[in-house]
């Protein structure tokens, strides 16, 4: 029987896994080196003594249009000409020439012409012994241009008369670059000061505020070594008055919890809101529940539970049916199981939270209703549950009443109730002068200005605004002079208002 030929590896009695490793190593040696291309070969030159290192830029990433230096060496011991070449239009083109001394050091001043540029140096052959005078070519240097970014960082709010710490920043960092700080208080951009960027691109300034006002700041990075001037986006600082601005929780702490739920009301108390705004509507069987919209679609699973009645008003549902709805899942799975609360549940939860967090909150009872009769019924329900929350004399009641419709307050005997009423201004009607004795007037943020605020203050009404969503909206309202902001983020608003 013929004997099979032996393999140089398998004949050694080597274990299978070791044989596999040996085979991989053999293939790597056999084929790997044949596919390695030296950097010098990629540059079109041989890997020998005639290849030079690529020129080095004195900036990491040049700005478009910026002037910088390309530095390097062609070797010592002989003076010779050095050419700087730029790769463009598919070929290397000589753009500068320079005679170098015995040191061999060269330095070319160039400008970043585009988002990507390739450079190399070439030293033509000169007479000399052996290879000393041979032509020398460097490997190419590819440089990618960088866009500019300029920012101004400030704190969002400060008490009028206080100081603001401002940080200016220009990227990429260019130490010594002139940064001009400008401000605008509504009368155009004016220079505050000129500064110099440090090694990280930063500069800092302290500005003292004066009056209650909004002031915008911006940084102008001046033209530098060919890089063009660049103007950064503005950042606003709001100088607030000494009188604290109240925070009204819009349907509870509704940025963090499902609106008009017990969780949202508890959170509003925990974060020390001054008021909680609550929306009430009656059910088919005469109970009162908390809901803002004219139907349940946006904030419950009514489309799943009662698909044929999904657009019906709460007035078409019994309390038992309302209790079956999930009022939390629309905002997140973690709120699954939250229910539409009744007026009794809401009042109990708020009082319990007040005791727990030792903080008193006032309530804005808003009727999402259809008639003055409903407002009268809601008033009677509130005083029936909490008789001390509405007083016949004075102000600062625990419960205040609000409606978008002034006619809802025209029920018989309203003048004897002592209820504090809140008017809502959401239309730009100059005849809307609210001559009734309103405790508060709430102005929509799109109509809000200092003139409106002063107008209602002269009529002895407190002024609020809604919806003040986001820090900027809260601070704009505060500078306009309002007494309250209605917002969905209680903690965020309090921080912005320096409370």
pLDDT (0 to 100) of residue 33: 34
pLDDT more than 90, % of the chain = 80
Determine the angle formed by the axes of helices 343-357 and 262-270, rounding to 10 degrees.
30
Q: Give pLDDT tens digits for 65-91.
A: 999 999 999 987 778 899 999 999 999
Please, which pLDDT band fits residue 449 given cuts at 50, 70 and 90?
Answer: very high
pTM: 0.78
pLDDT at 133 over 80: no
pLDDT score for 131: 56
- Which residues are 116's β-sheet partners? 144
Q: What is the per-residue pLDDT for 120?
A: 97
E-strand ranges in 12-140 read 51-52, 56-57, 67-73, 80-88, 91-100, 105-111, 116-123, 136-138
The stretch 264-280 carries a mean pLDDT of: 98
Q: Enumerate helices (H) and strands (E) in the chain, giving the number of each.
A: 10, 27
The per-residue b/e assignment along 351-385, b for 16 or more CB within 10 angstroms, e otherwise, is eebeeeeeeebbbbbbbbbeebebbbbbbebbbee
Structural domains for the chain: 40-144 (2.60.40.10), 149-240 (2.60.40.730), 246-496 (3.20.20.190)
CA 428, chain centre distance (Å): 31
The pLDDT score that the predictor gives to residue 1 is 44
Q: What is the pLDDT of residue 51?
A: 83
Q: What are phi and psi of 422, to 5 degrees?
A: -120, 125
User: Measured between alpha carbons, how far is 75 from 368 in angstroms, rounded to an integer?
Assistant: 87
Is residue 141 within 8 Å of 113, Cβ to Cβ?
A: no
Average the pLDDT over 272-298 and give the result. Answer: 98
Tokens standing for 164?
Answer: 């603001």
pLDDT digits over 146-177, tens only?
A: 999 999 999 999 999 999 999 999 999 999 99
Rounded CA gap, 471 and 464, in Å?
16
Please provide the distance, in angstroms rounded to a whole number, between the alpha carbons at the two ends of the chain: 99
| Statement: residue 34 has pLDDT above 90 | no
Positive/negative CA dihedral, 483, 484, 490, 496: negative
Beta-strand runs (E) in 268-374? 275-282, 288-290, 362-367
Total residues belonging to the chain: 499
What is the C-alpha to C-alpha distance for residues 253 and 355, in angstroms, rounded to an integer? 18
Tokens 């001046």 belong to 222
Task: Report the pLDDT value the prediction gives residue 3, as an integer from 0 to 100.
Answer: 41
Across 22-26, 103-107, 270-274, 354-358, least confident range: 22-26
pLDDT computed for residue 489 by the predictor: 98
pLDDT tens column, 394-447:
678 999 999 999 899 999 999 899 999 999 998 887 667 676 779 999 999 999
Helix (H, G, I), strand (E, B) or coil at 155: coil
Burial class (CB in 10 A: 0-12, 13-18, 19+), 266: buried
Q: What is the mean pLDDT of the chain?
A: 89
Q: Which of 13-17, 233-237, 458-462 has the lowest mean pLDDT?
A: 13-17
Q: DSSP states of 400-455 as a string?
A: EEE-S-GGGG-STTGGGT---EEEEE-S--TT----S--SEEEEETTT--HHHHHH
Tell me which DSSP letter residue 396 carries: -
Tell the residue number behind the tokens 């109970």, with chain if given. 287
DSSP string, 209-254: --SSEEEEEEEEE--BTTBPPEEPPPEEEEEEPSSPPEEEEETTTT
Position 32 scores a pLDDT of 38
Coil, strand or helix at 462: strand
Stretch 454-460: mean pLDDT: 92
d(CA 94, CA 182): 44
Q: Give the model's pLDDT for residue 487.
A: 98
Residue 428: its pLDDT value, please? Answer: 81
Check: CB of residue 209 under 8 Å from CB of residue 164: yes
Phi, psi dihedrals of residue 57, rounded to the nearest 5°: -85, 145
15 or 447, greater pLDDT:
447
Please determine, for residue 217, whether its predicted confidence score (pLDDT) is greater than 90: yes
Q: Is the pLDDT of residue 121 over 90?
A: yes
Q: What is the pLDDT of residue 179?
A: 98
Mean local confidence (pLDDT), 100-123:
94
Over residues 339-367, the mean pLDDT reads 98
pLDDT band (50, 70, 90) for residue 19: very low
Q: What is the pLDDT of residues 322-350, one digit of tens each?
A: 999 999 999 999 999 999 999 999 999 99
Asked if 123 and 135 touch (Cβ cutoff 8 Å), the reply is: yes
User: What pLDDT score was predicted for residue 4?
Assistant: 43
291 pLDDT more than 90: yes
Partners of 221 in beta bridges: 179, 230
Give, in order, the Cα–Cα distances in Å from 177 to each of 193, 197, 219, 383: 14, 5, 12, 68
């Amino acid at each position: 029987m013929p004997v099979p030929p032996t393999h140089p590896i398998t004949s050694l009695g080597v274990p299978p896994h070791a044989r596999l490793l040996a085979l991989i190593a053999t293939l790597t040696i056999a084929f790997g080196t044949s596919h390695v291309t030296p950097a010098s070969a990629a540059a079109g030159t041989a890997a020998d003594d005639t290849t030079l290192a690529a020129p080095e830029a004195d900036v990491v990433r040049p700005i478009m249009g910026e002037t910088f230096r390309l530095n390097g060496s062609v070797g010592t011991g002989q003076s010779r000409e050095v050419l700087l070449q730029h790769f463009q239009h598919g070929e290397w083109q000589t753009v500068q020439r320079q005679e170098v001394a015995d040191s061999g050091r060269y330095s070319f001043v160039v400008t970043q012409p585009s988002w990507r540029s390739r450079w190399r140096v070439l030293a033509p052959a000169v007479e000399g012994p052996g290879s000393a005078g041979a032509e020398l070519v460097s490997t190419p240097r590819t440089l990618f241009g960088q866009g500019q970014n300029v920012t101004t960082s400030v704190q969002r709010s400060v008490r009028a008369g206080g100081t603001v710490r401002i940080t200016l920043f220009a990227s990429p960092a260019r130490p010594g670059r002139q940064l001009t700080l400008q401000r605008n208080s509504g009368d155009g951009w004016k220079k505050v000061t000129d500064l110099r960027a440090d090694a990280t691109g930063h500069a800092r300034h302290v500005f003292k505020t004066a009056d209650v006002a909004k002031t915008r700041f911006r940084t102008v990075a001046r033209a530098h070594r060919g890089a063009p001037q660049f103007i950064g986006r503005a950042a606003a600082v709001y100088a607030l008055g000494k009188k604290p601005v109240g925070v009204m929780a819009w349907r509870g702490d509704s940025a963090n919890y499902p609106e008009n739920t017990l969780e949202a009301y508890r959170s509003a108390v925990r974060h020390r809101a001054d008021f909680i705004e609550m929306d009430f509507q009656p059910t088919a069987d005469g109970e009162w529940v908390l809901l803002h919209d004219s139907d349940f679609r946006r904030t419950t699973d009514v489309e799943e539970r009662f698909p044929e009645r999904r657009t019906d008003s709460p007035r078409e549902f019994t309390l038992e049916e309302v209790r079956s709805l999930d009022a939390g899942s629309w905002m997140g799975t973690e709120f699954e199981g939250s229910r539409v609360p009744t007026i009794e549940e809401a009042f109990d939860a708020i009082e319990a939270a007040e005791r727990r967090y030792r903080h008193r909150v006032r309530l804005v009872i808003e009727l999402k209703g259809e008639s003055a009769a409903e407002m009268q019924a809601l008033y009677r329900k509130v005083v029936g549950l909490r008789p001390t929350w509405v007083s016949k004399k004075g102000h600062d009641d625990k419960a205040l009443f609000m409606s978008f419709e002034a006619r809802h307050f025209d029920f018989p005997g309203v003048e004897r109730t002592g209820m504090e009423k809140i008017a809502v201004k959401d239309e730009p009607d100059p005849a809307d002068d609210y001559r009734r004795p309103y405790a508060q007037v709430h102005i929509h943020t799109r109509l809000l200005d200092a003139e409106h605020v002063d107008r209602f203050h002269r009529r002895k009404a407190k002024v609020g605004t809604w919806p003040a969503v986001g820090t900027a909206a809260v601070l704009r309202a505060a500078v306009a002079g309002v007494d309250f902001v209605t917002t969905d983020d209680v903690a965020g608003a309090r921080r912005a208002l320096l409370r």
